[in-house]
Each structure stands twice: as C-alpha cells, then as structure tokens.
C-alpha cells in the first residue's frame, strides 16, 4: 500500500532542543566540541541518553554524521547528511519523522555547529570552489555569474527585492520594519548578538550593501550551534518536556546557487513546501500561533509570508508595516531575534527549529508567546533556492 | 572595470567564440524551438539534444537590478558602486550581467530596455555587459 503524508501527522515529536550563541558572536569552542555539547544538551533536555540514539542527522563538509558518530561512539541504524543549505535542518526533521514512523530508528538527533568567526571572513568558500574546479568544465556559476561581481549572497536577495518593489510597490521602509520587529524580540533574548532597539531610520541609514538592501536588512555572521531530539509520540509522553508533534512537513527547490536560474524572483519554492506541509497537517495559516521563518535578509521573510499564505502575493510589505511580527503583534515571528539580530552561523535553520520547539513546549522564557499550539518553522537554503516547511504542534493540536 | 574569466566550458565554446567578434549567441532547441542560457548539452525544457547555435539580437529588458556597494570579487573592489542585473533577452533566456555606461548608477530600473555591449575579458574574449538602450 502507498501511504499519504497525513498518515504520518503527529506520529513523531521533538522532545529535546538546545542551542548556543553569544552576544559577542563568538563561542570560542571548536565545531566538533560544540556538536558534542549540543547533542548531550538536547538529550538531557529530553531526559534521554547518548546510548538511546539510533538515528543521526546533520550537515557539514565531509561525512558529518559519520564523523560525529565516530567521535561520540554512536552507531546509528539510520543516518542522513542531506545538504540543502540553511533549510537542511527542517529537511532532517522531515526525514527523521518518516524514519521513526517507519520504525527504522527510534531516537533521532539533528545537530549543527558552525564557527565562521573563528574561520575569519573573506572569500574562503569561493576559493575552495575554485580549487575544486575543472577549468574546462567549470561550475555554471563560475562561468555565468561570478564574472559580474554580484556580492554574494546579499546581491541575489537584492535582485529579488528590486523586483518585488518594482512589481508590487514594496518599500525599503516596509522591509526595514521586519528588521525593527525582529530586533524587538532580540531585546528579550540575552544571548542575542544585538539587543538594543532600532528604528526604520536606523535601517535605512545603515550602509548600503546591494540596493535596495542595507546592512541592517542583512543577517549576522556569528558562531552558533544547536540540536533537537525526536522520538515516537508514544515514547514522547514519558519524557521531560511537553512533546512538540511534527504535524506537517514539505521540502522543495527550484534552483541551486545561481539566482539567474530562479524561475520567478518573487515566488520561492515555499509555495510548494508550504502547501505540502499545511496539507499534511490539515491546518491553514490562520491557525498558526508563532512563525519562525528564515531571515537571511528582510526580503526573505516578506517572500515567505506570501508564499506560505499568511498574506497575498505582493502584499507582504503592507502586511508587516503595522509591526504585527513583533512582541504583542498579531503574528509573532522570529521570536528569538532571528538571523537578523540573534545569530546566523552561515546556515540558520537549526535555530528556527529550536525556537519553534521552545515556543510550543513552553520553554521560551521571557519571549514566550501565550497559548502556542501551532508553530511554523520554515527554512530557506541557497539563494531562495530550497525551502523546507514544518508545522509543529502541541498535544492540543493533535 | 577589470574583467577576469575563471574558466569557460567546452559546451559553451561557440558562445565564447562569438564574443571574440562581439556577437551574442544562444542555443536553440530544434525540437521545441526554445532558446536557453546558460549553455548545456541538452534542452532544459524538453530534454532533447537536437540543438543549434544562433546569433541573437542582443536586445532585452531589465528583470531585476541591484547596485553593489560591496564588491563580489576582489578585482572589482575599485569599481564599486556598480550595477548587476538580470536581463530577459528578446529571445527568451535570462542572463546575469552588468549595466555599464550610466551617469547615475541608481537610474537603471526594472522594465528598462537594454542592449548588449562588450568589455575585454582577456585572451581575445569579451564579456557580455549591457547598456540602457
């Protein structure tokens, strides 16, 4: 028989979550040691032990789950190193939920650590790409985009923002409001890189990076790490935290790292991943209490709100302008301060997951939103290329 | 602007040959009739491999545009601010390019009509850039 996605609704839960970031932006711990800290911390948060783990999910340069498993003495019977950029971790939860529901593993850990501040800024990644290049068969991006010097990744998102503004009249002030609302949340997160309130003028007066995006429209570059633990709904009932059930999941991509290959710069594959996730969960955007959505740039949030159906295509600018994304607003969004103000270690998807799980399980301390039954975690990897949408819910949402 | 190519592909040899004479060339599918860019060994629309190269008009429309105030390449650091755009060519395909020759870098707008121009990229090749028509 063939199953339907909705057959897996609520069968698996996130039962542990932890993350690490510092107001300095620097953690001063190696990536491997951070991974170990996060795996142990998430298991401790759940009330489970390393010896319980039989499924491992992570991403990185080389065989990341194998490297960490070797280091920690874990022998998983299910392993997944899917790499879809910043959306990888939502994808890992989707895959873990299916693997657990199918009985292929029972306790899964998704992990992430990245210390770009220790590596230093610069063109390291591009140089690495050049080094691996066959000069007679370069990656298409090397031949058709890089010679034009678009500043990456900001320039790709700037192109999308320029198109959105031209088509729909979206303004820099409206995009800036997203950064302002997100900063209001960050002021409630003692680990956030930036916690002082900002105004729309602060955003507009910050240096231009790639028009129409200013520095404060852009995410941070910080160290960061995190992990979540998943298990069966049955086992979740006996653990330390309120279970955070995986109600729906969807993933889609329509290009990779070339923004010139994106079919429509104002429409992300979030239309597809969101449709799949909401359909599997049997809920609609109006049922959502908290949104954790990838904010590599302010425009990333605007496009996601439209593509997930929180507002109509082209209306995100007006939708966010009343501050509804901030504390006390109608649609609390990026409640940890987001990649714009909390942390952004190259890939941000883990922090969406951790914050969504905390909000649903009531562990979000000073920034806890009341009566959260349904949260969205929406990752976006590449340059608006791959989106992965999760609908997470409390027991009341089952 | 100081131009540098970091590799050209075998499949795109006719394209780069055309740039030596400042001619813009695209691949067309003889089965479905569509043109595509970047060059491939098959048609990305119908997945057939019955392709031909044709010289094209070099005319197009700005689809999206940004002014980079930070350089994407170290060799272009002295040129900021400069304009990066996606241009929809009259024959259909979209390409990334630079808009050059503007008195005001902020003046190029989505929807503006443009025409291909050329900048020396070394080894006899030229890079396809864009001027507002």
CATH code for the part of the protein at A5-118+219-397: 3.40.47.10
**pLDDT tens, A145-199?**
999 999 999 999 999 999 999 999 999 999 999 999 999 999 999 999 999 999 9
Candidates B3, B10, B73; nearest CB to A136 = B10
Q: Identify the CA nearest to B19 among candidates B35, B34, B3, B30.
A: B3
Judged by CB atoms within 8 Å, which residues 377-396 of A form the interface with B?
Answer: none
B13-132 topology per CATH: OB fold (Dihydrolipoamide Acetyltransferase, E2P) (2.40.50)
Provide, as residue numbers in chain A, all residues whose Cβ is less than 8 Å from the Cβ of B14: none
Inter-residue long-range contacts of A137-142, CB under 8 Å, 24+ positions, other chains counted: A137/B9, A137/B10, A138/B6, A138/B7, A138/B8, A138/B9, A140/A258, A140/B9, A140/B38, A141/A257, A141/A258, A142/B6, A142/B7
Q: What is the pLDDT of residue B6?
A: 85
Q: A97: which strand partners?
A: none
* Separation in Å, CA A159 to CA A151, B84, B97: 11, 8, 12
**pLDDT tens, A65-78?**
999 999 999 999 99
**Smallest CA–CA distance from A213 into chain B, residue:** B66
Provide, as residue numbers in chain A, all residues whose Cβ is less than 8 Å from the Cβ of B9: 136-138, 140, 143
A/B interface, count of CB pairs below 8 Å: 121
A210·B69 Cβ contact <8 A: yes
d(CA A294, CA A185): 15
- CB of A207 within 8 Å of a chain B CB? The answer is yes
**Smallest CA–CA distance from B110 into chain A, residue:** A166
3-state secondary structure of A327: coil
The tokens for A398 are 């089952």
B7·A135 Cβ contact <8 A: yes
Candidates A149, A160, A167; nearest CB to B68 = A149
**Smallest CA–CA distance from B97 into chain A, residue:** A148
Q: What is the pLDDT of residue A126?
A: 57
Tell which phi-psi region holds residue A309, choosing left (phi > 0), alpha (psi between -120 and 50) or beta: left
Provide, as residue numbers in chain A, all residues whose Cβ is less than 8 Å from the Cβ of B84: 148-150, 155, 159, 210
A123: pLDDT confidence band, cut at 50, 70 and 90?
very low
Candidates A133, A147, A159; nearest CB to B66 = A159
Q: Are A318 and A165 in contact (CB under 8 A)?
A: no
- CB of A142 within 8 Å of a chain B CB? The answer is yes
**pLDDT tens, B80-123?**
999 999 999 999 999 999 999 999 999 999 999 999 999 999 99
Candidates A147, A149, A161; nearest CB to B71 = A149
Indicate whether A130 pLDDT > 50.
yes
Which ipTM value was assigned to this complex?
0.97
Domain spans in chain A, listed from the N-terminal domain onward: 5-118+219-397
DSSP symbol at B131: E
Please enumerate in sequence order all residues whose Cβ is within 8 A of that of B129, keeping only pairs 6 or more positions apart, or say none: B97, B98, B99, B100, B116, B117, B118, B119
B86·A148 Cβ contact <8 A: no
């Amino acid at each position: 028989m063939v199953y339907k996605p909705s057959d897996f609704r609520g069968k698996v839960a996130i039962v542990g979550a932890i993350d690490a970031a510092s107001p300095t932006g620097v953690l001063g711990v190696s990536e491997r040691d951070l991974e170990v800290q996060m795996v142990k911390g998430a298991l401790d948060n759940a009330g489970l032990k390393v010896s319980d783990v039989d499924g491992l999910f992570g991403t990185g340069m080389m065989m990341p789950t194998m490297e960490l498993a070797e280091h920690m003495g874990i022998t998983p019977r299910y392993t997944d190193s899917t790499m879809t950029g910043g959306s990888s971790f939502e994808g890992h939860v989707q895959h873990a939920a299916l693997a657990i529901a199918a009985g292929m593993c029972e306790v899964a850990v998704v992990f992430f650590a990245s210390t770009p501040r220790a590596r230093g800024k610069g063109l390291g990644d591009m140089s690495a790409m050049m080094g691996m290049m066959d000069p007679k068969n370069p990656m298409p991006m090397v031949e058709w985009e890089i010679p034009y010097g678009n500043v990456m990744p900001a320039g790709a998102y700037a192109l999308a923002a320029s198109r959105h503004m031209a088509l729909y009249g979206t303004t820099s002030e409206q995009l800036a409001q997203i950064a302002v609302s997100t900063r209001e949340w960050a002021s409630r997160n003692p680990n956030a890189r930036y916690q002082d309130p900002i105004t729309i003028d602060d955003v507009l007066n910050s240096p231009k990076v790639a028009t129409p995006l200013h520095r404060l429209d852009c995410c941070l570059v910080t160290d960061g790490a995190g992990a979540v633990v998943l298990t069966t709904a049955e086992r979740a009932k006996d653990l330390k935290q309120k279970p955070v059930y995986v109600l729906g999941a969807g993933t889609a991509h329509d290009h990779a790292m070339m923004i010139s290959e994106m079919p429509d710069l104002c429409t992300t594959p979030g239309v597809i991943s969101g449709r799949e996730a909401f359909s599997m969960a049997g809920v609609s955007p109006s049922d959502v209490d908290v949104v954790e959505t990838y904010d590599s740039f302010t425009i990333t949030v605007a496009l996601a709100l439209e593509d997930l159906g929180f507002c109509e295509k082209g209306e995100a600018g007006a939708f966010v302008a009343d501050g509804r994304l901030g504390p006390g607003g109608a649609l609390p969004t990026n409640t940890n301060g987001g990649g714009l103000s909390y942390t952004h270690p190259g890939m941000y998807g883990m922090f969406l997951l951790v914050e969504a799980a905390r909000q649903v399980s009531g562990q979000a301390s000073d920034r806890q939103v009341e009566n959260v039954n349904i949260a969205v975690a929406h990752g976006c990897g590449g340059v608006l290329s791959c989106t992965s949408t999760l609908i997470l819910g409390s027991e009341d949402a089952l | 602007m100081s131009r540098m190519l970091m590799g050209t592909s075998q499949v795109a040899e006719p394209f780069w040959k055309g740039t030596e004479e400042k001619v813009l060339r695209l691949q067309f599918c003889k089965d479905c009739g569509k043109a595509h860019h970047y060059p491939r060994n098959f048609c990305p629309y119908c997945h057939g491999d019955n392709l031909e190269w044709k010289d094209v008009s070099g005319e197009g429309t700005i689809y999206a545009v940004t002014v980079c105030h930070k350089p994407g390449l170290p060799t272009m650091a002295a040129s900021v601010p400069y304009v990066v755009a996606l241009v929809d060519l009259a024959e259909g395909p979209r390409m990334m390019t630079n808009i050059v020759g503007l008195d005001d870098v902020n003046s190029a707008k989505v929807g503006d009509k443009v025409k291909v121009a050329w900048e020396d990229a070394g080894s006899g090749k030229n890079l396809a850039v864009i001027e507002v028509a």
